[in-house]
Amino acid sequence: MKVVGISGTIVGSKTRVLVENVLEDIKKVDSEVEVELLDLKEYQVQFCDGRDPDTYEGDTKKVLDIMNSADCFLIGTPIFQSSLTGALKNLFDLAPVSMFRKKVIGFVATGGTYQHYLVIENQLKPIAGYFRAFVPPSYVYAHSNHFNKQNEIIDQDVLERSKRLAEELVLMEQSLG
């Protein structure tokens, strides 16, 4: 089983830290699981223009190839203006629906207000539904206050939710896979 963790932003580092934390927890749940981090900050992904995804080249092709190798996804985004990032939305637009169909997708998000967790419920979960993906009951939302100045997660509840999400991702993928 391979889990691809996506940090769906081209700015900041808190989302990447949170995605990496859950990926580490997945390895603790089952050391046999292969994990890979896909940080959009490291790629120059083209804007979706409606063409066949197989015709993209360069970094866009690399990103789609990494995503195609996944059995399961962990997708993270910071919340800007009460929504997911444009970089992540573009990634969803680039991906064929079949890429996510019948796969498990877990979500994490970071933000500056405590109400922004609702983006997971009201935007990300419906996107997964459109793709006909399976979503674990848990997700992780971390507020800026849950990190120290070095962008390390310091909130015990966030760390516990990370572990729970990791357990659910592995269990669901193993049960469905």
Query: Does residue 61 carry a pLDDT above 90?
Result: yes
Query: Does residue 28 carry a pLDDT above 80?
Result: yes
Q: Give the pLDDT confidence of 78-102 residue by residue, as tens digits.
A: 999 999 999 999 999 999 999 999 9
pLDDT computed for residue 139 by the predictor: 98
Taking residues 41-68, what's their average pLDDT? 97
pLDDT computed for residue 108 by the predictor: 98
Give CA–CA dist 24/20, Å, rounded. 6
Count of CB atoms within 10 A of residue 103's CB? Answer: 21
pLDDT computed for residue 23 by the predictor: 98
Query: Does residue 8 carry a pLDDT above 90?
Result: yes
Is the sign of the CA dihedral 79, 81, 86, 89 positive or negative? positive
Contacts of 49 (CB under 8 A, 6+ apart): none
143 strand-pairing partners: 111
The CATH number of domain 6-176 is 3.40.50.360: yes
Average confidence score pLDDT of the chain: 97
* Lowest-confidence region among 25-34, 113-122, 125-134, 157-166: 113-122
| HEC-encoded secondary structure of the chain | CEEEEEECCCCCCHHHHHHHHHHHHHHHHCCCCEEEEEEHHHCCCCCCCCCCHHHCCHHHHHHHHHHHCCCEEEEEEECECCECCHHHHHHHHHCCHHHCCCCEEEEEEEECCHHHHHHHHHHHHHHHHHCCCECCCCCEEEEHHHECCCCCECCHHHHHHHHHHHHHHHHHHHHHC
**Would you state the structure tokens that stand for residue 123, as one six-digit string?**
């935007």
pLDDT computed for residue 10 by the predictor: 97
Query: Does residue 105 carry a pLDDT above 90?
Result: yes
Q: How confident is the model at residue 177 (pLDDT cuts 50, 70, 90)?
A: confident
Rg (CA), the chain: 15
Where are the domains positioned within the chain?
A: 6-176
Taking residues 41-59, what's their average pLDDT? 96
